[in-house]
Structures are given as C-alpha cells and as structure tokens.
Amino acid sequence: MSESFRTPAPAGAAPQPGPRADAPLFDRVAFIGIGLIGSSLARAVAHHNLARSTVCTAKDPEHLEVAHGLKLTTDTAPTIAEAVRDADLVVVCVPVGAYAEVAEQLKGNLKPGVILSDVGSTKTSTVRDLAPILPEGAHLVPGHPIAGTEHSGPAAGFAELFIDRWCILTPPPGTDPAAVEKVAALWRAIGSWIEVMEPEHHDKVLGITSHLPHLIAYTIVGTATDLEEDLKQEVIKFSASGFRDFTRIAASDPVMWRDVFLNNREAVLEIMQRFTEDLTALQRAIRRGEAETLEALFTRTRAIRRAIIDAKQA
C-alpha cells in the first residue's frame, strides 16, 4: 500500500500548499485538543476551505476560550461526545498519554462511516488505543506531521506549519484505501508530503530522528542546570548557538514528551543503548588521545548534515 499513497518530492520543485479548494473535502471536521498542532491544522483547514464546518473541544477550558476568541473553528463543544456527533473526520490532537481516556469518550459517539485520525508522535500506541473503539464501517487513518515547535497551546499555532514537511500515515492493514487517500489529500492540500508506513517502523525511525535528540537535549540542559550557581550563570551568559539550540528543544512541552517516551519505550530504550555504547567509545577515544578516531567520526557526521541539506535543495 505504501507506494501508491506516497507523494515523492519532485526534484527541483518547492512543495507548495494547494490553493483554496473549490469544494471542501469534508463536511465537518472535529479536533479533539486545540493546542499547537490541533490549532495549526484547524487554521490550515480553514485557510484552504477543506471542511464545510469545523468544531473543537479540549480539556483545558482556556484553550476553548482562545479557540473561540480567535475563531479557529466554526464551533466549539464542551465535550468530546458533542464535538464528534456530526463529524465525518475526527482528528485527535492531544498528548499520546491521553488517548485511552479520549477513546473512552469517543466510544459509541462516532458517526457511521467516520474517518478517525490523529497527529500523535507515537503510532503503535495510537493503533493500540484507538482501533478497539472503532464502530463498524468507520476507518482509522493515524497520522503524524513531522513538524512542530517548542511552544504549546492554541495561540502558538500557525497555518503554514505543515508546508514542505512530511506527514506519515500508519493505517492498519485492511483500511479502506479511499479513506487513506482522503486523509492524504487533506495533508497534501496544506503543503505536506505523504509517506505511509507500519506503526512499528514509524516508532523506530522517529525514535532515532526525534525522540533521542529530545532526550539528549533534556539531558544536556538538565546537566547544565545542576551545576553550581556561579557556573550556571556563566552557562547562561556565554551560551552560544550550540547550547542555545539544545535549550530550544529542551523547552518543548513536558507532558507531551513524558507521554512520547512512555509510549515508545521499546524503540527509545534500544536506541539509547546504542547511543550509550557509542558515547562510551568516544569517551575511550578521548581518554586515549585517539585523534584519528575522533576525526573520522566527525567527518562522517558532517557528511550526513550535507546530505540532509542537499536532499532539501534537490
């Protein structure tokens, strides 16, 4: 299935969001959670005319107030049951640790034929939590936009967040291809590239590219803040771009990231094990003064950075 939905980035073409759609793709889209990602998606859906109406609900009452004030959706609803009642697309946009609780409230309230999707950072847990409550004739098309910032909440969102970014879809085997295509069409319309993969594979890949880097940033900044007070002040005063980049990542939402690590435990522990071994090898090379080992590693990693930049420019 993966190849047919894939939108390969054409060489030389800068991905652009589609124009405002002539006819909306969906009648009513419900956003469960209206923080950074939910509100960015709501803004993009409205901007591109992808739904006749939209509705959001959220656990934080002030998020609903902000959503109402900024007119992020056509309607707001006080409960999940009310939000999803007439929706033909429901997008869960809450931290992955809240999915089981959300699933309980979705149960028995989804419209026949609904497409249930999400934006969560871990996908095996999405299928585990959402698949069991799916009514007959409904479709589960989990999604993960590989786009974000260190900010949270509805005021932090923006419609352009997903432009030129991947959105990975992880539909369970046997999912109606038409439902997958409809969700893919929505993400394409707002400027994203689509890749379809197995949830377990997604969790391994993101374990390396997203979860481990966040863990490292949290550790480095944590180590710096554990220093004695005068040294800590100097770290703040003299922090140049390297440390600053880590502090941006380490400022990411604590609840979201707590849930990511607890819901991608296996893949994260495995990659941490490999990382720890590599760090130990580096420690030994430094202690022994092995200049060649250090230079060889740093040359290899520099090439990876260049390959990423070249791939973006292709």
Ligand X SMILES: O=C(O)C(=O)C[C@]1(C(=O)O)C=C[C@@H](O)C=C1
Residues in contact with 158: Cβ distance below 8 Å, sequence separation at least 6, in sequence order: 40, 43
Q: Write out the two tokens for 204.
A: 């391994």
Tell me which residue of 225, 155, 145 sits closest to 186, measured CA to CA. 145
- Least distance to ligand NAD, CB of residue 56, Å: 8
Report which secondary-structure segment, H or E, holds 57: strand 51-57
Q: Write out the two tokens for 110.
A: 């989804």
From ligand X, ligand NAD, none, interface partner of 95 (C-beta below 5 to 8 A by class): ligand NAD
- Contact with ligand X (CB under 6 A) among 100, 134, 146, 285: 146
Q: Is 76 helix (H, G, I), strand (E, B) or coil?
A: strand
Residues in contact with 25: Cβ distance below 8 Å, sequence separation at least 6, in sequence order: 50, 51, 182, 185, 186, 189
Residue range at the interface with ligand X (CB under 6 A); choices 13-21, 50-58, 145-153, 184-192: 145-153
Q: Count the Cβ atoms, other than its own, within 10 Å of residue 279.
A: 11
- Contact with ligand X (CB under 6 A) among 149, 239, 247, 293: 149
Q: Is 64 helix (H, G, I), strand (E, B) or coil?
A: helix
- Which lies closer to ligand NAD via its Cβ, residue 52 or residue 85? 85
From ligand NAD, ligand X, none, interface partner of 60 (C-beta below 5 to 8 A by class): ligand NAD
CA dist., res. 74 & res. 78, Å (int): 14
Report which secondary-structure segment, H or E, holds 115: strand 115-118
- Least distance to ligand X, CB of residue 69, Å: 25
- Least distance to ligand X, CB of residue 148, Å: 3
| Displacement of CA 67 from its chain's centroid (Å) | 20
For residue 150, state whether it binds ligand X (rule: CB under 6 A): yes
Encode 188-212: b = buried (16+ Cβ within 10 Å), e = exposed. Answer: bbbbbbbbbbbbeebbbbbbeebbb
Binding mask 104-133 for ligand X (x = CB under 6 A): -----------------x------------
For residue 247, state whether it binds ligand X (rule: CB under 6 A): no
Q: Write out the two tokens for 282.
A: 């580096």
- Which lies closer to ligand NAD via its Cβ, residue 125 or residue 175? 125
Binding mask 194-223 for ligand X (x = CB under 6 A): ----------------x-------------
Residues near ligand NAD, by CB under 6 A: 32-38, 58-60, 63, 93-96, 98, 101-102, 119-121, 145, 148-149, 152-153, 253, 256, 260
From ligand X, ligand NAD, none, interface partner of 210 (C-beta below 5 to 8 A by class): ligand X
- Which lies closer to ligand NAD via its Cβ, residue 47 or residue 52? 47
Interface residues with ligand X (CB under 6 A) are 121, 146-150, 210
